[in-house]
Chains A and B, each alone.
Chain A
Amino acid sequence: MKRIITLNVNGVDYTFGAEPNATLADVLREELRFTGVKKGCDDGECGACSVLLDGCKVIPSCTTLAVEVEGHKILTIEGLKKGDQLHPLQQAFVDCFAVQCGFCTPGMIMCACALLAENDDPTEAEIRDYMRGNICRCTGYGKIIQAVQEAARNIRTAKEAVENG
């Protein structure tokens, strides 16, 4: 039996009917059409479906029920840009050749977003450990690590520039 729920996705409230057993990934993809949320395993093992909950917590949307996150703010890859401006992580993934097939990319970036919220200068080992749940078959991870570090650097520089007026 469908339930009427309201989800806040990328800053907008959406009200719709959802089965109680519908996953957040399926609702985002099929109902609300945020197809940047990818499904690589349906089992929480690959990280492609990662989204941010309340701005900082990264969750696998394929093993989260849509009804569980009612009232929370959900951020998908589609909500990361500020106007026409790519988020520093998005820009760094472009600049560092950290993208190949692109299927893991949205989940990678969302996970890295949560990491940088906790740690603005992560070492290679810290990045590897934090992002261990996100699988990529194309890159061998090296360029993704470089992109995360490049984004962290750019975010710090921008922050310092603001602080120094």
Chain B
Amino acid sequence: MADKYRVIGTNQLRYDAVEKVTGAAIYSGDVKPDRMCYGKFVSSPHAHAKILSIDVSEALAMPGVVDVLTGADVPEKRYGGYIRDRHILCKHVVRFVGDYVALVVATDEVIASNAVAKVKVEYEPLPAIFDVEESAGSNPPVIIHPDLFEYGGAGFQGVTEYGWEKDRPNQFTSYYQRKGDIDKGFAEADMIVENKYTLPFVSHCTMETHQCVVVPTPDGGLEIWGSEQKGGIARFEIGEDIDMPPEKIHMHTPYLGGGFGGKTGIPILDVACVAALKIKRPVRIVQTREENFIQGGLRGAAVMHIKDGYKKDGTLVSRYVEMLANSGPYAAHATILVMCAGFGGTGNYKCPNQLVVGRGIYTNLPLNAPYRALGSEYFVFAIERNMDEAARKLGIGRDEIRLKNVLHNGDRDGNDKVVFNNGSDYCLRKAIDGIHLEQHRKADGPWRYGKSVSLGNKFVGTEDEQGTGALCKVNSDGSVTIYNAHVELGQGAKTVDAMAAAEEMKLPYQMVHIVSGDSEICPHDMGTFCSRGTHANGNAIILACRDAKKKLYHLAEKRLKISPEEMDMEDAVIFEKANPDNKMAVSELFSFEGGVEEGGQIIGGATWIHPLAGNPTGIERDTYSYGSWGMEVGVNIETGEVKIMQLIGCYDGGTIVNPKAAEAQIEGAFSMGYGQALFEHVMVNDKGRMINCSFRDYKIPTFMDSPSTSIMDISFVPDNPCEFGPNGAKGIGEVSTVPVLPGIANAVSDAIGIELYDLPFTRETILNAINGVKKDFKV
């Protein structure tokens, strides 16, 4: 790779690191315009209730309180991205503990908090439903949205058109992916393994909670700073929700303190906009950690039913897998999640007869939000767990069963797409060769040891028709500035973008500047989610750089007296390919005042649209990233403690733009998956209220938990460019967590010799299993 590229594949230091280590980096909640007010929510104490009345008089009378907004202040129409099933503030009904009822706006944050308690809301409690299986049926005791089938929907990618089933009143969407005939497949099978797996609600726990500052502008528009991953489309959605032309909304997405999907469409933005317009002053909303847990959106829980049919030799001949996504009271992104999750169910193994079903189900539990991998982890967890059980029952190796069924380039997957750029086999073999499943460590006191191999995938969501734009401005010293909408969540957006530009312009990395996240000066991109950032933005940057070079060569024609086709450039010098001595510095094109001598500016611009853009369910091929882990764990059968002994990870992210940064993503994702596998879960009481809404009670991995990187061996599939990627890159941010959950789960089950089905595998779960106590995780 070193020969082919100057910058791609090298460990350039993070573009934003110096800003971040000096405290200079600006996040949304750091912005403080003059006369700014603070917004605090009055939220529902009930999981389901009618709002009978709201009395704001006492709160309004408090010194410092500027206004109290209620459902009466927000548009009559519903909003919600995909299915429009909610109001900006609840108008008549609340549907989860934490639902947004009113917003107090005051000159001081403490006053606003105190005034929240003075808003008197009278409710009539309604029966609530929490169990997703009960809610998914044809006759649920509670119907959460009686008017669901009248609601408007965006019809995005056909989701709503075929997603509703009138005999399932709490199902807001469904997704079916059919291949072959599963009944015929099961009849041909020698053995069937059927199980039910569950995943709990988990919180993203971004260190920065959701935050925004909204400033009304003199032209009646709005200027917004928001911790929002929807870089480009946010203002269009806000504009539609509050009836304002999007061009009047100036959206900034500065640094985000983590995203992990959870900041895709944050619910606080619309409310802050309505409030700022009403009081004609800037409004800041910054969630507390508790509010972030309760109201910020969670990765939904899910129940997975899986039935696999195998031949004696381990060939998978039929698979039925169904997900009930417990999505809380509003559809939000779970609408698209059930389909995207389905891709996860097809991405790794071949199966001639397969039916994947995803159902998005309403309950009165907390709000859902996309979470790193957008559902891929649900299906992959169930499939990988079930494969281990199948291998044991068939008496074949857990590595063998995977190698026998893994998809290769040219195969057709369960979605009948042609598989390409698929590094699954390589990743899997690397994990298998490193971990040696057949060699078992002997029991040592209370410690039992187990191993696993697991495979995962995540599709790269860049096949939209909106296109991703970028500009490349050439500066008077020959450096370039890239303008784009790629949101820096911490994943390294600016770094990979600067590297793409440096590569294309043959400039040192340090001579690229990035300006991003400002809707007034940066071209459009949908947003930074679904593993699309590096892929889509990198492609757009390359095209913009080529356009800039075209303009540079045109300007250089007179000086070099050759045609543009004969030119090349490197290190800000344009030269004749056949005669490199015929050259000029880019800076020579500029006057001493910084203008181009010929007049004007040199700005390249372009939009990249995926060559296969369109409805992803209708195209021939889907781009996926892949990854595999070989793991060894120890389980203490007296305490239930799990310790990680050895980790061999291998990933296919296409060309790896920056190996150190990619490794950092995978290490972090491992930690996140480790938390999900072993202890993270939202706990809700019988009234639907989340009870572990602090870092004290909702544990995420700390310094004391995360395994040492000294036992972690991470590698990538070498020389593996993706056909559609910028310099061959795919995405790595999401797939990195997917095989971690089943990897740990399978190794734990292997260590104790008991199949476990319900995440997380807490010490309590493990001990209960060892002691023969069955514990039923409801949520």
Contact = CB atoms under 8 A, between A and B. Distances in A.
Interface of A: 19, 21, 26, 29-30, 33-43, 45-46, 48, 76-78, 80-81, 86, 90-91, 93-95, 97, 99-106, 109, 124, 127-129, 131-132, 134-143, 145-146
For the complex, would chain A's binding face be called helix, strand, loop or mixed by DSSP majority?
loop
A94 B703 contact: no
B704 interface: yes
Contacts, number: 179
Interface string B1-23: 00000000001011011111111
A97 B695 contact: no
Interface string B405-431: 000000000000000000000000000
B695 A43 contact: yes
Contacts of A132: 702-704
A97 B702 contact: no
A105 B671 contact: no
B464 interface: no
A105 B23 CA distance: 8
Contact of B258 (A80, A86, A95, A137): A137
B22 A100 contact: no
B700 A94 contact: no
B696 A100 contact: no
A100 B18 contact: no
Contacts of B256: 101
A11 to B, nearest CB: 15
Contacts of B288: 42
A128 B706 CA distance: 10
Contacts of A21: 110
Contact of A140 (B27, B260, B701): B701
A138 B703 CA distance: 12
B161 interface: no
For the complex, would chain B's binding face be called helix, strand, loop or mixed by DSSP majority?
loop
Interface stretch (B59-67, B203-211, B440-448, B741-749): B203-211
B667 A101 contact: no
Interface residues of B, number: 62
Pick the most buried of A46, A77, A100: most chain B CB atoms within 10 A of its CB. Answer: A100
Pick the most buried of A76, A139, A142: most chain B CB atoms within 10 A of its CB. Answer: A142
Interface in B259-291: 259-260, 286, 288-289
Contacts of B207: 38, 40, 46, 48, 101, 103-104, 135-138
A15 B659 CA distance: 48
B700 A138 contact: no
A18 B229 CA distance: 36
A135 B696 CA distance: 12
B343 interface: no
Interface in B22-55: 22-27, 29-30, 32
A101 B706 contact: no
B529 interface: no
A43 B668 CA distance: 24
Pick the most buried of B207, B257, B260, B490: most chain A CB atoms within 10 A of its CB. Answer: B207
